[in-house]
Structure 1
């Protein structure tokens, strides 16, 4: 049977991925207690929701990283959207390619749903570069599409950029704080994947009256837990190209947060 990365290995990979290969891990990077299982999830839709299509559905991933399918990268995977399908019975076999198994092998974090009115059950499943699934998946959710707007061009709903989904602007939080990242119209992958429009996330934290910290998540992580010293901060999320030179592909709006004692 295909082995799934252990919790210890995934935790170590997440921590190691918060710094470039030749740099030490940033001291703010930590893991939550209790330690959750690695999982995928939807960040903007929940069980029982009613929507109109086209609709931009966003994916989240906890405790491991994304990588495009161009090469094998340990402890990473890519998303698959299962539509009206249960989890596969055999996790040793690659997932098929059809409308019920939608692949996101470039490292995408979203898709535009084009469903006709009706009820649908959706689930995310992570798989490796050969589309062989890990035991890393979301709970199933059932949604209702109430209408499909044929006049809306699905492509018009996707604007390239990045967003810091959490924390929210103006929040006061106790450390460790949970950060959630999102990329739209751009791809996220481990730094070893050097494809066009593909990069890894970097958090820039500006302390009030202090220095600026830059924390790179080179393993393709799309969320993080940080333990900064108490104080006022402005966080910004960047997507940094994996290509030589590391140009900033996109930058988010600033988010002001107070970290309490």
Structure 2
């Protein structure tokens, strides 16, 4: 089989796949704000944020992934909440036939048990089918996964994969001008996301501050490891600030915030 070496890493954002777990009526952050909206899709999914079916890429390639439907990331060091798990990348593998069996550890089932949101692919030139799958701390799959993406690696470059790891956070909005509801996707590079209640060293949870042109800002903390939110604020212009807060030290930031601006019609 083609060489499937790859190095774990973390960097920035964003495309959507498919999947199959029932989503809650609204994103289940621990501090729900009235501007938060129900996701328009009825299913939860793990997805690639920067890769689509049919893409041609060169490696090393920073592959990024997200999680929808109110689900959150939880490292395997200890149990997270009911709607939580960690990402897995399946390489040239279909979904498991038995979701009551733990996923194996090999080059075709790549585990991200620390709460990572990206990896660096170092695949050799060739055609591959990739899929994301969420599983619990015992590596038992959830019914939260992506559609398969068949991609072609056209070239493998001599770039050192370690040089592609840049610590930081980023976010993606549907555009500078949006209509309600709109999605804000979060990303952590070279950093791990976890439930705040797990209190694990070297992990954090996201906080999003949405500030209108006039009036009080809306502050939303995603204590349960969520990596996106749907919003429906009143029409107007807003500035967004995304932070990753340390799960072991109250108020401490793990990196510099990311910012964006959006106008809601």
Higher mean Cα deviation, 247-256 or 38-47?
247-256
2:219 aligns with 214
How far residue 156 of structure 1 moved from its aligned partner, in angstroms, is: 0.7
Instruction: Quote the Cα distance in structure 1 between the aligned partners of 2:106 and 2:148.
Output: 19
Aligned residues: 244
2:7 aligns with none
Higher mean Cα deviation, 239-248 or 137-146?
239-248
How far residue 148 of structure 1 moved from its aligned partner, in angstroms, is: 0.8
2:42 is equivalent to residue 36 of structure 1: yes
Instruction: Quote the Cα distance in structure 1 between the aligned partners of 2:182 and 2:256.
Output: 20
2:211 is equivalent to residue 198 of structure 1: no
Instruction: Quote the Cα distance in structure 2 between the aligned partners of 1:137 and 1:238.
Output: 26
How far residue 6 of structure 1 moved from its aligned partner, in angstroms, is: 6.6
2:29 aligns with 17
Instruction: Quote the Cα distance in structure 2 between the aligned partners of 1:17 and 1:257.
Output: 22
Gaps of 5+ in 1: 20-24
Instruction: Quote the Cα distance in structure 2 between the aligned partners of 1:172 and 1:114.
Output: 37
- Look up the SS of the partner of 2:24 in the other structure: helix
How far residue 245 of structure 1 moved from its aligned partner, in angstroms, is: 1.5
Instruction: Quote the Cα distance in structure 1 between the aligned partners of 2:76 and 2:197.
Output: 11
How far residue 189 of structure 1 moved from its aligned partner, in angstroms, is: 1.1
Gaps of 5+ in 2: 1-19
1:95 aligns with 103
Whether the aligned pair in 2 keeps the contact of 1:164 and 1:252 (CA below 8 Å) is no
Instruction: Quote the Cα distance in structure 1 between the aligned partners of 2:76 and 2:120.
Output: 21
Instruction: Quote the Cα distance in structure 2 between the aligned partners of 1:115 and 1:185.
Output: 20
Whether the aligned pair in 1 keeps the contact of 2:27 and 2:230 (CA below 8 Å) is no
2:162 aligns with 155
TM-score with structure 2 length normalisation? 0.87
Q: Which among 237, 242, 249 is matched to residue 237 of structure 1?
A: 242
Taking the TM superposition and a 5 Å limit, the aligned residue runs for 1:217-228 are 217-228=222-233
Would the alpha carbon gap of residues 132 and 207 (structure 1) be closer, same or farther in structure 2, given more than 3 Å must change?
same
How far residue 180 of structure 1 moved from its aligned partner, in angstroms, is: 0.7
How far residue 65 of structure 1 moved from its aligned partner, in angstroms, is: 0.9
Instruction: Quote the Cα distance in structure 1 between the aligned partners of 2:233 and 2:91.
Output: 40
TM-score with structure 1 length normalisation? 0.89
Would the alpha carbon gap of residues 84 and 6 (structure 1) be closer, same or farther in structure 2, given more than 3 Å must change?
closer
Runs of 4+ in 1 over 4 A off after TM superposition: none
Instruction: Quote the Cα distance in structure 1 between the aligned partners of 2:255 and 2:202.
Output: 10
How far residue 18 of structure 1 moved from its aligned partner, in angstroms, is: 4.2
